[in-house]
Structure 1
Amino acid sequence: MLSACAVALRAGARRSVRRLPTRPRTAAAVPPALRLSRPLSSSAARPTDLTTRGMIVQTLSSVGSKREVQQYLSLFTSVSSQRFAVIKVGGAILTDYLDELCSSLAFLYTVGLFPIIVHGAGPQLNELLQQAGVEPQFEEGIRVTDAKTLRVARDLFLQENLKLINKLEEKGVHAQPLTTGILRADYLDKDKWGMVGKITGVDKKPIETAINNGYLPVLTSMAETDGGQILNVNADVAAAELARAMEPLKVVYLSEKGGLFDNAGQKISAINLDEEFDHLMSQSWVKYGTRLKIKEIKELLDTLPRATSVAIIHPGDLQKELFTDSGAGTLIRRGNKLHSATSLAQFKDLDDLKTVLIRDREGADGMATATKYLDFLAENDFKAYYDGPMNALAIVLPAKNGRKATLSTLTITKSGWLTNVADNIFTTLRKEHPQLVWTVREDDENLGWFFDKADGSVTNDGSVMFWYGIDNSNEVVELMTDFTQHGRAMLGDSNLESRLHRAVGNGAKPFAQPTRTYSTLARRPTTFPGLTGRRTYVTQTNPNPPYGKKNASKDQPARVALIGARGYTGQELIRLLDSHPNMDLRHVSSRELAGTKLEGYNKREVIYENLSPEDVRDMESRGDIDCWVMALPNGVCKPFVEAVYEGRKASDHKSVIVDLSADYRFDNSWTYGLPELVTRGDIAQATQIANPGCYATAAQLGIAPLVPHLGGMPHIFGVSGYSGAGTKPSPKNDVSVLTGNIIPYSLTGHIHEREVSSQLGAEVAFIPHVAVWFRGIHHTISIPLNKTMTSRDIRQIYQDRYAGEKLVKVVGEAPLVKNISGKHGVEIGGFEVDKAGKRVVVCATIDNLLKGAATQCLQNMNLALGYAEYEGIPIM
């Protein structure tokens, strides 16, 4: 079956109609490829900007993973600097989004990338002509340019060019204006349009010289005849001709709308022209500007190398489009047409096919294994799908003798990733195979992509079986049972191909999908007994789920031990476990309560114990426990964690540890367990998880969507009920002291301040307080912005960011503590912007004992143990 295989870089998120938004990532260290490639100008004044390094860290943590950024940097730097990108900037962008544009260009410059900028100034020209009493005239969409209009346009273009250059210099970017002598032209039609040019040539030398000297070239859309006459040229046309001359990897058109849109008003994420152009042109909604733009881009790309693509994006999304798998706007490329074959004779060269089958093969027996696999295909029905260069190959064994159609092979090269072939193939598979089953190794880094493609999955013995299109619950249960009992053999293939592939083509590591890939949004309501969601990213469980991964027996629920059960959080977790259908609390440890009966747990009688680290070690070595929950005060649980480590040495058993304290939140060997912001696939694969703090969870969720737009340090005013101070008596949980009062504490340097700053990749200030109510936290967060924004803009960002998150609710008004008490999620609202539009106040509320602790712990346990994420959690 299918083993670790490559994923197209736009996979899952890059569809031809729409794409779910991606979520920000947690901060990552700046990789060597992102260190400063040259010193910034010492004269650059950046009083309100973030430091260059801070900007890079924010970019990495908010628009994509470190791995994504490094991959795209590798791609962009694989060609000469002049061939990176041509970016067309419209006049409206220079007026309304200058700061965002220059910040994005500064990032590119800092990492050693030199886009060629060409700009227009159409809206400004209309306004100036109107002020001068000149009525703009257009013929067939082209501005008629007389001598007076040209004079105004020339002065305006020089002025706008200087404005852009100065803004770039402020941000430490050396830029060179190239306003004459680059574009050669003849009159387009002098009688009809006057002094409007048709470009006949591009002088590349000044552009190449500027880049070689470390300057970004900034061009105006003005051209000259051989006789020296200045002519007006449309900026889109100028960008296209520059692209033809420079043959860049990317051609970028910056647009206020941020892309092209379909008839339902949804942004079109990607268009592969070889596959979709004729179909698009036949659609009634593809008309006017959209039709013209697609047609012009096709004409452009037909004259450029196949690797070149066009992106139509908002200026604020430039980094996301260039450096992430999901992109941000509309990506248009020629792509490759898919071919199919139903017999080996239809392949031109079987030796080439063997080479494709073994290109990911580790070991000396690859050719022999491939030969046996081809012998198997020669005697059995199959259908293969591949592109012309064979950068991608999928082989499906059809349904037969009660066996479902099976995806037996999928291998993608690095080049295949970059041309989005994987998604194209899977789209074709869905069209031709209403039902499909496949397996993937459990440690495959691309599990998120497969989860996104599947309707359900089940894990067993190091493999994950996926399926789509199987709606009959009895068939699903039978499929899952057969897989857990018989493994891959029940799928009916030769099991030869399953041994072929372990890594991606060309020796590169596969890419994980954007976090939104792991969304728990269901495609349609689930009707299967025991299945809680159609797109959970771990196993879809039956009443007797297999837990081969974490060593739990397949005929019993996961066994849980709770160390430190006396506190409020421990009691809440016990209550949740009592109603969980697939977890069994076996042991609770409390020195003070040892020997007494555990109240509130009804599945079995449990007596409190005083477990020592030695007891924990022995239980781990015997494989008695599947999940240890450490609910101890800060600084106390280390001996118990080390006991688990010691117990693992004596057996093959490897349980999951979830620590509710702060002891391991800054330890990179532990997975930080905030599912809404951390890649869920990482949590699903983890065996040691640091549960975030309550204050920190609400603060991160309240700030994360605006990290790309920070103009300074966010300040968090947090107030918690006194349950947050624990059960040990102190002034912070003394009702008599708190009545009519509010107590600030840890005015600077609180551990949650470090936690939030570390995870977001941006420094924050946090001032915690305690008040007289029992449970619930309220944050009032003041966030400086790096650009002017409206309240509506910001609220939309949050709604898009948390779309589909069942435990995050975005509201209009500032949320109230009394409304979140006893609830399992977070409410975020307020979004009030100051008069200047450069600061917003966001409010967030959370129950510190639930989503701030016990509920989040259960989310992490579910993921790590192979259950659906929200199993046992009442949804908001």
Structure 2
Amino acid sequence: MLRQVARTSSVVKRLAPAALRVAPVSSSSTSNSANAAARSYSTRSTVVQLLNNIGSKREVEQYLKYFTSVSQQQFAVIKVGGAIITQQLPELASCLAFLYHVGLYPIVLHGTGPQINELLENEGVEPEYIDGIRITNPKTMEVVRKCFLEQNLRLVTALEKMGVHARPITAGVFGAEYLDQDKYQLVGKVNSVNKSPIEAAIEAGYLPILTSLAETPSGQLLNVNADVAAGELAREFEPLKIVYLNEKGGIINGNTGEKVSAINLDEEYEDLMKESWVKYGTKLKIKEIHDLLQHLPRSSSVAIIDVNDLQKELFTDSGAGTLIRRGYKLINRNSLKEFGNPDLLRNALLRDPEIKTGKLSVASYLKFLESVKFKSYGDEPLEVLAIVLEEANKIPKLDKFLSSKTGWLNNVTDNIFNSIKKDFSSLCWIVNENDSNLAWYFTKSDGSFAKNGEILFWYGLKTEEVSELIKEFDSSNIGSALSSSKESGVFSSPTQKRGFHTTKVRNYSNPNPPLRKGTNTEKAKVALIGARGYTGQNLISLIDRHPHLEISHVSSRELAGQKLQGYNKDNIVYSNLQVEDIKKLEENGEIDVWVMALPNGVCKPFVDAIESVENSKSKIVDLSADYRFDTTGEWIYGLPELNDRQTISNAKKISNPGCYATAAQLAIAPLKEYIDGLPTTFGVSGYSGAGTKPSPKNDVKFLENNLIPYSLTDHIHEKEISSQLGLQVAFLPHVAQWFQGISHTVSIPIKKGSLTSREIRNIYQDRYQGEQLITISGEAPLVRDISGKHGVVVGGFAVNSQQDRVVIVATIDNLLKGAATQCLQNINLILGYGEYEGIPDDVVIRG
């Protein structure tokens, strides 16, 4: 996501004029000036908030342009459940203020059901319902009116405190007749909507805040269900978005317990209404929404979401909660004759960049389709067109995926892709690396491979199939990108081999970006010296799954002569290598990388033996602390997320960071310029961090119901953290009764009032964008979630009330990213492989 605070000012300059330009002009020049001043004052914080909550810069600009292209009253109708005002008023006010400050004016209508029930209960009145409709007698109406006025005032007041001009409209909008006076008493059926009060409020620069009270021609107040009233408003204004905010955040599938992401009524309505879990209020709501959307433009949609997801729903392609739209029935075609309307097909193909630029004609592509077996997917108007090529003994290939802006905005693209996945258990496709929707393609894939400006994607493939697919792609034999054609010659340029990954990738910019694409695909030999410990075992397991690395020697005095367990590529036996043995292996050029997995202070003779060989070409990675404080420049500190990756790649000797030190540095480094005092980190490790040699720190019985503090000053990791960060840090290590995983709680003094919690989180998200092994979480991460995982989670970001201290929590598996995984990162870099080759992308995300 685009969350770079440093770049906010330039974005503000672009968006601020638009925000002010679309704001309505008040008939009062004084009011207009006040409105403009308020918006100008808040533009910066507004845009920062926008960037914090949505998916990308492209989506920001896309949706702002989209929404402000219509009149203000046609933007959105938002129905707010009464429980939201009671339980989430600050969040609701913040979201509405956000829309107001970017010049968008939703029509807000709220209910008050829970508050009415509470007041009635206090007065000893039992609420009565028939068919889900509240019976509203005069006594109940008195309570209803009181509740509506109180809750309306609460919301308006909360908005005004945030610099939003809001206008309470508690009557005069809905005209009604009795729904059934004998049965329901003072309950109304809306028969007219007076738009004037709403339009006047928006024209004057105020958000209209409505209740669902209606009136008869004689002036009798009638109670109307808020959902029904919101629907009547939507019929009158025909907005782009109709949003129902509720505490559940969407429609829940009663069978699975999962939230329904999207409902396309034209495609799913009849089958959905037959589902066993669709009953009572859920069935009524879906039916009312279905009836409502039948009379609105097809671009209109209804979203049922949590208040915290309002911005995500309005400003991202993925949206939130449950999105309900008419959509179109999807149509599959297997021949050109089945399209019927050739002009419709031609218009869809004209979206293809190659056709747009004249490199390919529509006619030549249609002729090509006549000669192959294909299956096409599209909605009725072909806002989205997908063409899958099927060739015997070949992986099906998505040859074209063409969508209009409407197709992307209405998520027709997701429906089409889901249909493709139902028909094809495996698929490959190619996308130009400059495609504006590249991130979307990554979410649909299991893996990818980049070459010469094109990215090959796939899903559902076995390892051997992936290897073969990449070979074909690398030799330009499987066709062209979605934005190209088989005849374009786009792959006629010399090929360039690069590394590939088989995990989903997050595409972000980074001042020190990961080197995902390696230049080397040759096999390499690894020798492990001192491989019997926990770290050695984990590194062996990682190398066993690595596509290019092979173990040639493992050395352990205690295990000499025994078979190496957990390694399946070859039958390796432990040996007890001496200095002379190592020198001979180096002279013969048998080893590409030496890994020193020895205790502190032991590995120097082995390193000296390697370096004594003239023209030695192998690399060395030391897992101990022996060379972490090197000042000669010969040893490079191998923390890729903080140190220059190119420097690491060019190094001969790498000092692998310590486990505690890795997590602590990652937790502190982004805030260096704001630190004002001594950061203190309280670290707790599982007992695997104490090694295999028996001691109280790895004695399970001694650790039971216990926490052991040790080396509370001048611990070697304290020196490591401080020297690498260039500032003094206090470190308090402890060991606990779990096996693996570290939790750091880091207290960092900062310049008073310099940063909010949100801004600090943004700094971390920006600094670590694109890092596969680092996740930024809104919550404090739990150590149990990181155990066995290959990365670091940093979260919490709690600022104290004096705003001069932030507390951050970081978790890391001490045996993996704290040792073995980081070692493999460094090996990949110094050998020219993709940085994450052989490393799963499995960091747990919690918020």
Q: Determine if the TM-score, normalized by the shorter chain, exceeds 0.5.
A: yes
Task: Return the offset for 1:171.
Answer: 1.4
Q: 2:415 aligns with which of 402, 424, 429?
A: 424
User: For the Cα contact (< 8 Å) 2:91–2:307, is it kept in 1?
Assistant: yes
Corresponding position of 2:7: 29
1:341 to 333, 348, 364: 333
Contact 2:355–2:362 at 8 Å: present in 1 too? Answer: no
Q: 2:95 corresponds to which residue?
A: 104
- Verify the 8 A CA contact 1:824 1:850 in the aligned structure 2: yes
Aligned-pair CA distance for 1:342? 2.7
Q: Secondary structure at the match of 1:382?
A: strand
Residue 121 of structure 2: which of 107, 123, 130 is its match? 130
Displacement, 1:549? 5.6
Tell me if the contact between 1:376 and 1:494 (Cα under 8 Å) persists in the aligned partners.
no
Contact 1:109/1:173, CA 8 A, preserved across alignment? yes
Q: Which has the higher contact order (CA 8 A, sep 6+)?
A: 1
Partner of 1:281: 273
Q: Deviations over 1:476-522 (max 9, x none)?
A: 55444444445325x999983574999xxxxxxxxxxxxxxxxxxxx
Partner of 1:581: 546
Whether the aligned pair in 1 keeps the contact of 2:377 and 2:416 (CA below 8 Å) is yes
**Do the aligned partners of residues 636 and 227 (structure 1) sit closer, same or farther apart at CA in structure 2, a change above 3 Å counting?**
farther
Among 821, 829, 839, the residue aligned to 1:871: 839
Residues 350 and 51 of structure 1: CA distance in aligned 2, closer, same or farther (over 3 Å): closer
Check if 1:780 corresponds to 2:771. no
Query: In the TM superposition, what is the alpha-carbon distance from 1:346 to its structure 2 partner?
Result: 3.0
Are 2:228 and 1:237 aligned?
yes
Structure 1 residue 149 displacement after superposition: 1.7
Query: SS where residue 327 of structure 1 aligns?
Result: coil
Offset, 1:165: 0.8
Q: Tell me the alpha carbon deviations over residues 838-860 of structure 1, each in whole angstroms, 9 at most, x when there is no partner.
A: x9987444368963698458569
Alignment partner, residue 769 of structure 1: 730
Taking the aligned partners of 1:299 and 1:634, their CA distance within structure 2 comes to 71
Superposed displacement of residue 67, structure 1:
2.8
Instruction: Report the CA distance between 1:70 and its aligned residue.
Output: 2.6
Distance in 2 separating the partners of 1:637 and 1:210: 71
Q: Describe how 1:264-343 pairs up with structure 2 within 5 A.
A: 264-343=256-335
1:718 to 2:684 alignment: no
Partner of 1:496: 485
Provide the residue aligned with 2:219 in structure 1: 228
Aligned with 2:365 (options 364, 373, 384): 373
Give 1:424 deviation, angstroms.
1.6
| 2:79 alignment counterpart | 88
Asked if residue 152 in structure 1 is aligned to residue 143 in structure 2, the reply is yes
Is the CA contact 2:681–2:732 (under 8 Å) kept in the aligned structure 1? no
Cα distance, 1:249 vs. partner?
Answer: 1.0
**Does the 8 Å contact 2:484/2:490 carry over to 1?**
no
CA distance in 1, matches of 2:61, 2:137: 49
Is the CA contact (8 Å cut-off) linking 1:694 and 1:848 kept in structure 2? no
CA distance in 2, matches of 1:500, 1:485: 13
Equivalents in 2 of 1:242, 1:699: separation in Å? 51
Stretches of structure 2 that go unaligned for 5 or more consecutive residues are 21-32, 492-498, 508-514, 527-534, 551-581, 595-605, 609-616, 647-660, 686-709, 749-771
Using a 3 Å threshold, how does the CA distance of structure 1 residues 862 and 115 change in structure 2: closer, same or farther? farther
Pairs within 5 Å for 1:730-769: 739=711, 741=713, 768-769=729-730
Opposite residue 817 of structure 2, the aligned amino acid is K
Q: 1:581 to 1:141 in 2, by over 3 A?
A: closer
Q: Does 1:214 align with 2:205?
A: yes
Which piece of structure 1 moves more, 372-381 or 182-191? 372-381
What does residue 184 of structure 1 align with? 175
Question: Residue type matched to 1:85 in 2?
Answer: A
Q: Secondary structure at the match of 1:113?
A: coil
List alignment gaps of at least 5 residues for structure 1.
1-22, 45-49, 503-530, 540-546, 561-569, 586-595, 610-618, 642-656, 671-691, 704-712, 723-737, 755-765, 784-804
What one-letter code is carried by the residue in structure 2 that aligns with 1:328?
A
What per-residue deviation string (whole Å, max 9, x for no partner) do you get for residues 172-228 of structure 1? 111001112111111111121111111111111221121121111001111112222
Q: CA offset at residue 821 of structure 1?
A: 11
CA contact (8 A) 2:796 2:809 kept: yes
Structure 1 residues 374-453: aligned runs within 5 Å = 374-400=366-392, 402-444=393-435, 446-453=437-444
Letter of the 1:314 counterpart:
D
Note the alpha carbon deviations across 1:222-274, whole angstroms, 9 max, x for none.
11122222111111111111111111111111111111111110011111111
Correspondence for 1:487 among 469, 477, 480: 477
Structure 1 residues 611-638: Cα deviation after superposition (integer angstroms, max 9, x where no partner): xxxxxxxx9xxxx99x9xxx99999999
Letter in 1 for 2:109: V
Quote the offset at 1:98 in angstroms.
0.9
The one-letter code of the counterpart of 1:241 is E
C-alpha distance 633-64 of structure 1, shift in aligned 2 (>3 A): farther
Q: Is the CA contact (8 Å cut-off) linking 1:598 and 1:605 kept in structure 2?
A: no
Give me the whole-angstrom Cα distance separating, in 2, the residues matched to 1:323 and 1:492: 28
Larger Rg over CA atoms: 2
Give SS of 1:29's match. Answer: helix
The alpha-carbon distance between structure 1 residues 635 and 344, as it changes in their structure 2 partners (threshold 3 A), is farther
Q: How far apart, in 2, do the equivalents of 1:814 and 1:495 lie?
A: 44
- Residue correspondence of structure 1 range 798-813 to structure 2 within 5 A: none
Q: Cα distance, 1:69 vs. partner?
A: 2.5
Q: Which residue in the other structure is 2:556 paired with?
A: none
| Identity among equivalent pairs (%) | 45
- Report the CA distance shift for 1:720/1:831 in structure 2 as closer, same or farther (over 3 A): closer
**Aligned-partner Cα distance in 2 for 1:661–1:635:** 20
Aligned pairs, number: 683
Q: Residue by residue, what CA displacement relative to the aligned partner does 1:655-681 show, whole Å, maximum 9, x if unpaired?
A: xx997485779xxxx9xxxxxxxxxxx
The aligned residue for residue 184 of structure 2 is: 193
Q: CA deviation at 1:304?
A: 1.0
How far residue 302 of structure 1 moved from its aligned partner, in angstroms, is 0.9
- Call closer, same or farther: CA 1:602–1:137 in 2, change over 3 Å: farther
- 1:779–1:844 CA contact under 8 A, matched in 2: yes
Contact kept, 8 Å, 1:342 with 1:384, in 2: the verdict is yes
Alpha-carbon distance in structure 2 between the residues aligned to 1:870 and 1:633: 25
Task: Tell me if structure 1 keeps the 8 A contact 2:741–2:787.
Answer: yes
In the superposition, the TM-score normalised over structure 2's length comes to 0.66
String of CA shifts for 1:787-827, please: whole Å, max 9, x gaps.
xxxxxxxxxxxxxxxxxx998899x999789x999985447
Aligned equivalents of 2:244, 2:546: Cα separation in 1: 53
